[in-house]
Each structure stands twice: as structure tokens, then as C-alpha cells.
Chains A and B, each alone.
Chain A
């Protein structure tokens, strides 16, 4: 980023590789702009540390803290020696007014988050557990890059726990629903991926359930 941020030097913080910047579940009131080094976002699910994202210089993380002091939804860990600017709600306005480029970046991040949350909300409003799980696949397919859009089959590099997370269901219930789909030959489960045989079939299924719910 070719921005002059030297006026924010007093907000600079540094971390050594493997340092935790913040930890899942801890209350958060700060957010960060990476200046150098990479930051990994991880979540511990069922005793496995799962990589959610790797962020690079110029990227913002922890931004939900600007809005509310909710517990962090994931941990941020320094991958390299990281230098970042640390802000809180009090000095947020100074930053935004001083550097509209960052404000614009945050604006874009918010539009994406709003869309993702709305999409997730739609999944959660479904009453039917099968429809919920199917809709998780639909949501994931919407942001996939597909080489051949005419192909019905979709491959997802996710685990059952991810599905459970998005569907707001327990891993056991999610697994039961997936096994049911497997028995219907609509889905195949592999150790490293889940294959949906016909994504359009899932779309029709979810849409009909959603319509049914509205008329009920």
C-alpha cells in the first residue's frame, strides 16, 4: 500500500512469529491494519486448528470490534514478524478521516460481510434440517470459481464441522443429514472433500422448501 501512515506510528504494534494477536472467544475492542508480515486467522474446531484465512499487508482484521464488543470469532496469529496499526473505537474516526483510502477499504469489507451474514441468515431461517445443509452447499457454490458452469457436480474442500458451523446445527445432526444424502446418492463424502452430485437439484429442493415455509 503506497499510503503514508507515518502519522499513525503511535498506534504501531509488533508481533513475533507465532505470537497470538488475539484469541478466539476473548472480548475484543481493537482492530488492526497490517503493515508488514502475514497474519493467519484460525479457529479451533474439534481439537483441530483450522486455517480460515491468511492476511497480507494492507488488509484489515478484527474489524467487528468497531461495531460491538462481542467475543472474537476466531484467533489471529502472526505468521512472520508482523507490524500492524492497532485501533479502537475511540481513535477510529481519526484514522478514517485522515486516510479515506482505509475508510473505503473498510466500506468494501462491510459490504462483503453484510452480504455473507444475510446469506447465512437465510440458511438459518430454514426449518428443515436437510434444506439447511443443502443451502450451505448452495451458499458455498455461489462464491466458487467454476470452470464449467454447465456441469452439475460441485466439489467442496470442507469438513462436516464446517457445514455444522454454517447451518447452526450440531456436528452429529449435520453428519446424520449428510449420511442421508449419501444414501440417496446425492452426495459423496471423502476425507478431504465433499462432492455434491447435482447442485441444481439442491437449488430446486431448497427453493421449494423456502416457498413452502412462506405459505405455511
Chain B
């Protein structure tokens, strides 16, 4: 049970370095938390306000007290065990939210302090090179799925980055399940087409990045250019799918439907077939044609695996329409 405890002036509630499972709330009187600032070593005194909790961090985290709690004038506080504190906090979300704010500020601050020290040291952090190297690492270890992920991410964030042309050619190898020019090529690649393909990949990911920045019209033009200039091949199929998404995001629903209808005729086994159908259904819904939309959503539910996001999205959309 939480209990009220009285302390005389100049007594100590706990010492720095103590381990304890107690959390306190100050009811009356004055209590100061004394500690040394980790950056300057300066002695700090933080006064506790009445109604404020203290000793929470070390009790919850089960580590030694980082400060000494000194009673300045006769004081009364209520002491809780950790489970008692948790029970109260769960019934009063405001307490947790307030503490989350305080703790996240502290965490952000200490993170920044650590980073500053690391920057001034020998280590430099270059997330761009780091991400590219991860892609390289996975490709070298023949973990193609992971390599594809990392390299795609690289190209999304750094479409015109230091390693972007290298990344697009590695990505192509990873997508084909080979280690490409990282090691000597184990699978023959048509050499006359090599360079050209890389260019396509580059413009494709450039367009993807435009799309992700919500520049749909520019992205649309880029994807259309890819199809016009490099007809055939895997990038055409990919670009076809993306064009439909561009139309959808530009709220050109009828064009989206028309585009995907043609695409599905041309590529009946397109890897993004189900997602294309979803956009068609969604377009009909946005145009107010609920019957058509329902038809497409139901079709998706009958053909997609249940754990795919598109399955869930369709189910939800269907529920919304049918009530």
C-alpha cells in the first residue's frame, strides 16, 4: 500500500548509488535532487515541486539512483512500490504521457550529446555510404532479397547520390539473383545490353523517387518516357504499373481504370496484378460506382493471400461500402 512518510529538514530520502524500488510523490515541504551534470561536472540542485513524482527513472529502470534526494524543510511524501506506481499510472494516462514527454526530452538530449562527442572523434557517420554498403554486403552474401531492399532504399533516398549508378546496376543484379559485377559474373549477362539496361534502371528509380515525393505528374512523364524509349523488358512492366498509380494519385480515375485494363491484358501475370485491381476498384469507388468497386474488391479477396496488405485494404473497403 502507498504510505505517507514524514522527513525532517536536512535528512536524506535516498543517496546517489542506492538501489531501491521506491517511487515518491512530494506532498508538502521542500526536497532537492542533487547531482553532477554529466557534461560539465557542475553540482546541480533541482527542486521538486509539490505533487511531482521523483525517483521514477531509477526505480522503473532498476538501476542505481543517479542523484541524492535531500530534504530542505520538514516534508511529507508518499512512497510507492513499482507495481503500485504502475497501477496508478495505468489508471491515469496523463501521468504517463507527462513522463513520456520528460523522458523523451532527456533521451533526445543525451543522444545529441553522445552524437556530438562521436562526431568530434575519429568516427564519422555517413548514412548515404552506410546504406549503400549494406546493399553491397547483402549482395556479396547472396542474400538477394535483402540486397534488393537496401539498394532500392538507397535509390529512393539518394536518387542522384554518390553511388546511384553503381547502386542501380547492383540492384539489377540482385533482382536477377546474381552477384553481378561484384564478383566475376557467374551468370552470363547479355553484354551488348549491359550499359543500356543500367540507364533504364536509373531513370526508373528516378521516376519512383519523384512519385514518392508526390510529384505525380513529373513521375508519370518519366514512366511514359521509359516505355517509349525502352519498350519491352522488365522495366516496361514495372513502369506500366506505376503509371496507373500516377493516374490514381492525380485523381484521373477513368484513365487509371483504362490503363490498368490494358496492362492486365498485356501482362496477365503481372507481379503487381492484385494491387492494380485494387486501384481499379478504388477508382470506381471514388467515381461513385459502388457496384463495380465491390466486384473488384471481392475478386481481390478471392485471389490474394490473406496476409497481404492489399487483402486487408480490400476487405476494409468492402466493409465500408457494404456496411
Contact = CB atoms under 8 A, between A and B. Distances in A.
B150 A168 contact: no
A84 to B, nearest CB: 12
B2 interface: no
Contact of A114 (B57, B125, B140): B57
A100 B96 contact: yes
A103 B86 CA distance: 11
B113 interface: yes
A13 B313 CA distance: 11
Contacts of A189: none
A200 B64 CA distance: 19
Contacts of B99: 107
A4 interface: no
B134 A117 contact: no
Given A110-B104, A111-B60, A117 B117 contact: no
A103 B93 contact: yes
Contacts of B117: 121, 124-125, 168
Contacts of B93: 96-97, 100, 103
Interface stretch (A53-61, A65-73, A144-152, A175-183): A65-73
A168 to B, nearest CB: 5
A26 B157 contact: yes
Nearest to B97: A96
Interface residues of B, number: 54
A51 B86 CA distance: 32
Interface stretch (B141-149, B185-193, B291-299): B141-149
Given A26-B153, A112-B61, A104 B86 contact: yes
Nearest to B85: A104
Nearest to B132: A25
Contact of A66 (B57, B104, B140, B145): B104
B254 to A, nearest CB: 28
Given A47-B137, A117-B114, A118-B38, A25 B127 contact: yes
Given A67-B108, A104-B86, A25 B146 contact: no
Interface residues of A, number: 54
A121 B57 contact: no
Nearest to B149: A20
A79 interface: no
A91 to B, nearest CB: 15
Given A25-B127, A44-B137, A170-B122, A107 B103 contact: yes
A123 to B, nearest CB: 9
B103 to A, nearest CB: 4
B134 A44 contact: yes
A40 B149 CA distance: 16
Interface in B238-296: none
Contact of A120 (B39, B114, B131): B114
B103 A101 contact: no
B5 interface: no
B321 interface: no
B251 to A, nearest CB: 23
A208 B217 CA distance: 65
A169 interface: yes
A125 B118 CA distance: 10
A9 to B, nearest CB: 8
Given A67-B108, A168-B118, A125 B89 contact: no
Given A49-B141, A118-B110, A120-B114, 16 more contacts: A14-B308, A47-B140, A64-B111, A67-B108, A71-B125, A96-B100, A100-B90, A101-B90, A103-B100, A107-B103, A113-B107, A114-B103, A114-B106, A121-B113, A168-B123, A170-B123
- Going nearest first, the 6 A-B pairs with the smallest beta carbon separation are A111-B61, A25-B130, A71-B127, A25-B131, A124-B117, A110-B103
9 contacts: A9-B312, A68-B111, A71-B125, A77-B146, A81-B307, A104-B96, A106-B100, A110-B104, A117-B114
